[in-house]
Amino acid sequence: MKRYLLLMPFIALASQPILAQNDSIKKDRVMDSDPESYHRWTIEAGFGQSKGVKPYAPGYYYSNPNAHLRADVNHFDIGTRYMVSPKFGVKVGFSYDRLQDQEGAESGDFDMRVIGLQIQGVVNAVRLFSFEEAAGRFGLLFHGGFQATQMAPQVGINEGLKEYNGGIIVGFTPQFRVARAIGVYADFSYLGNVRQHFNWDGSYAKAEDNLSGSMYTFSLGLSYSFGRVGLHGDWAVIPDARDEDIQALDQRVGDLETMMNDTDKDGVPDYLDVENNSIAGVAVDTKGRMVDLNKNGVADELEKYIDTQVTTAAEKNNNSEVIKRLINEGYVSVFFDFNSSKPTPQSTQNMSFILTYLKNNPNATVDISGHADEIGSSEYNNSLSSKRAENVKNTLVKAGIDASRINIVPEGEDPSVDKNSDSARKLVRRATFTIK
């Protein structure tokens, strides 16, 4: 029987590559609270030693007083476990034990065969006390329930007879996961019979020992878990469903906050804003569009500004120079979507403003400066800024402006805003104008 114990070092050695491989999948231990995301079923098989504690007839005993450790294997077990929830489960197992006098002991000869069936409840102690993340690959199970055994003496006066007993079984099982679905364990169990008539040596028990018996078992084994997807529930870090609800609520609140952003500060949230690049201070309608009642392509507020502030200044300078200053200082821009060289529809009125100025001032020329945000390579953004300026030029040329009056200036990336802000980057994806 010693040959069984020799297998354990080889099992440990074989598990080392698996351990190294599975260190890289620690993140897979975190599952969701859906029961289908982790394994519930486990098959377990082990071997070890069992020891009948009492009763024995005088002159019979199991332990050898001259030996401190036993090396033989006399216990085998196999079972299956189903976890009803991550903390609690049920287990059905079968066992085989062979209790014999030890070689070199002064006990009388005996040979008792014990076949058992166990039905138990199982508690995942690691999960019950909520330290599964700290435990890592280690685990601990407590189990207890009912057991039934068949005792059959193989020698002595009761050889050939069989007795059926029942009682309780309790124990605990430290375990260690070596792969996603494979673990090793050590189990310590106590069995107590409540109707045992035989001594463990095969004779009948005395009256004071009748109907009782106890046995300890220790076993080492392998467990294999299976299910549709995921990791075994003994080790998976399963978040509380309430935490998932809170995270989902946080996400919804975050989405609402994003929806309520107001990029152009016109008082209309972006999710309702059809024109989210309106000029600051210019009146807009409920959809965020600059008010243009006379449909001339110029916002009424801007016209009002020109009619009042600019007209007053025109006493010293003509209207054309004031408008030229507004254009050159960047009050009129054409905007673009991300990675696009096509102007946004909302920018049409701004191009109309430039077109009107150039038509009213036939001797004026204009530099169109294309800009891009800092997302992507500098080389690509230089090319994109050139394409943006070129597209604006083509639009003006097709609208009747001579191409010789328009000069293209690719400015490339504009680093003036926070590159990590999506809203800020929208403000630099533009083309600006310089009247000469």
What CA–CA distance (Å, rounded) separates 382 from 415? 13
What CA–CA distance (Å, rounded) separates 8 from 13? 9
For the chain, the first-to-last Cα distance in angstroms comes to: 101
Can you list the positions of beta strands (E) in 154-204?
Answer: 163-177, 182-193
- In tens, the pLDDT along 104-135 reads 677 778 899 999 999 999 999 998 888 878 88
- In tens, the pLDDT along 287-330 reads 667 766 777 667 766 776 666 665 555 554 566 788 888 888 88
Residue 141, strand partner residues: 124, 173
Per-residue burial over 7-40, b = 16 or more CB atoms within 10 Å of its CB, e = otherwise: eeeeeeeebeeeeeebeeeeeebebeeebebbbb
Contact (Cβ atoms closer than 8 angstroms) between residue 293 and residue 302: no
Predicted TM-score (pTM) above 0.75: no
What CA–CA distance (Å, rounded) separates 196 from 198? 6
- In tens, the pLDDT along 419-431 reads 888 888 989 999 9
Residue 405 DSSP SS3 = helix
- Mean pLDDT, residues 48-71: 76
Q: What's the pLDDT at 156? A: 85
| Cβ count near 75 (within 10 Å) | 23
Q: Which H or E element spans position 419?
A: none
Nearest CA-CA partner of 45 in 173, 221, 172, 178: 221
Q: What's the pLDDT at 6? A: 41
What CA–CA distance (Å, rounded) separates 249 from 247? 5
Q: CA-CA distances (angstroms) from residue 264 to 274, 313, 341, 423?
A: 11, 28, 21, 9
266, with CB counted inside 10 A (0-12, 13-18, 19+), is buried
Confidence of residue 103 (pLDDT cuts 50, 70, 90): confident
Strands 111-124, 366-372: pairing kind: unpaired
Strands 75-83, 88-100: pairing kind: antiparallel
- Mean pLDDT, residues 81-102: 92
Residue 26 Ramachandran class (φ > 0 left, ψ -120 to 50 alpha, else beta): alpha
Contact residues for 255 (Cβ-Cβ < 8 A; gap 6+): none
Peptide bond between residue 269 and the one before it cis (omega within 30 degrees of 0): no
Confidence of residue 240 (pLDDT cuts 50, 70, 90): low
Confidence of residue 1 (pLDDT cuts 50, 70, 90): very low
- In tens, the pLDDT along 354-372 reads 999 899 889 899 999 999 9
More confident residue, 261 or 168: 168
Percent of the chain with pLDDT over 90: 39
> What are the structural domains of the chain?
2-243 (2.40.160.20), 292-435 (3.30.1330.60)
